[in-house]
Amino acid sequence: MGEILVGTASWTDATLIKCGRFYPRGCSSAEARLRHYANVFPLVEVDSSYYALPSIRNAELWAERTPDDFVFNVKAFRTLTGHQTPRRALPQDILRALNLSADGAPVYANTLPPEIVDELWRRYLEALQPLKDAGKLKALHFQFPPWFTAKRQSYDYLEEVRQRLTGYLVAVEFRHESWMTEDRRDATLAFEAQHGFVNVVVDEPQGARNSIPSVWAITNPELAIVRLHGRNEATWNLKDSTSASDRFNYDYNAEELAALAEPIQQLASSVVQVHAIFNNNFEDQGQRNGQTLMKLIGGVRRQTRL
């Protein structure tokens, strides 16, 4: 039976801190919050690396402030997944090299010179080296945009990602229905398995073109990831200007969590480790739901020291 690790996507969301229910009184510094979080959960997903390149110093601090067996999954920087990238998200020297101001239309990887894209890749991996050296970097999480559809160009890019990330566990999450339709699902899973990608099982609102069903399949024997976005259909496609805490505002009830526990445990029977990550991040929803799920599945858990 493989390990089941439960965690949340980020530990510093503004509404989580403001609600005052997860962090104890006086737990107000970056160090105190991460130490407290890591006393409750054995895993966290770093989402800030999607919005801006991570820094070496932050990765060093993350490694120092967490227990030896704590692990991080780190989202890919948005340019590397084909998302639109606000110019302000790029480092200043990159903007200067591109002769761009910080204002103006977003940029995309396919409009940038290849040497700039290579440099972004280099800096992303360089920043995460302290986590890798500490044995705390588990997976790099590539969440692709809705326009990344199941076509030859997309497969080619996935092969490029695999080549660039030799030696890393890479998880892929799709946001277009074409990848997991009944007639293409098997081919998608076979491609993931062939290239060692970790299939990301999602729990999310259904019916939109940028949703896929929950496909409880293992494509890498080392890891399976279950990413729980909530089931709030009304907010799933709110505009990008809306905060993530509004978009993923959903509180799983006890029955829903119990129904999720069984397939998560089934995954653990065939893989070394399963990560269940709550991305519902309005106030303390994810933290409460995560602790409930740990009780249901008997996964790796921690004792909170207050």
Task: Report whether 177 contacts 148 (CB < 8 A).
Answer: no
Q: What is the pLDDT of residues 218-248, one digit of tens each?
A: 999 999 999 999 999 999 988 754 677 888 9
The pLDDT value given to residue 245: 82
Stretch 40-50: mean pLDDT = 97
Q: In the 8-state DSSP scheme, what is residue 178?
A: G
38 SS3 class: helix
What's the whole-number mean pLDDT along residues 158-180?
98
Residue 270: predicted pLDDT: 96
247: tokens are 């978009």
State the DSSP string of 63-101: HHTS-TT-EEEEEPPGGGGT--B-GGGS-HHHHHHHT--
The helix (H) or strand (E) run that includes residue 115 is helix 114-133
107-141: burial string, b at 16+ Cβ within 10 Å, e else:
bebeebeeebeebbbebbeebbebbbebebbbbbb
pLDDT computed for residue 298 by the predictor: 78
- Between residues 40 and 246, the one the model is more confident about: 40
Residue 46 DSSP one-character state: E
User: Is pLDDT at 65 greater than 50 in this prediction?
Assistant: yes
Which residue type, as a one-letter code, is found at position 25?
A: R
> What pLDDT does residue 300 have?
59
> pLDDT at residue 304 above 80?
no
Looking at residue 301, what is its pLDDT? 56
Q: What is the mean pLDDT of residues 155-179?
A: 98
Q: Give the whole-number percent of the chain exceeding pLDDT 70.
A: 96
User: Does residue 78 have a pLDDT over 60?
Assistant: yes
- What does the pLDDT read at residue 243? 74
Q: Is the pLDDT of residue 306 over 50?
A: no
Q: Is the pLDDT of residue 126 over 50?
A: yes
Show Cβ contacts of residue 259 under 8 Å, excluding neighbours closer than 6 positions: none
pLDDT of residue 302: 53
pLDDT band at 145 (very low <50, low <70, confident <90, very high): very high
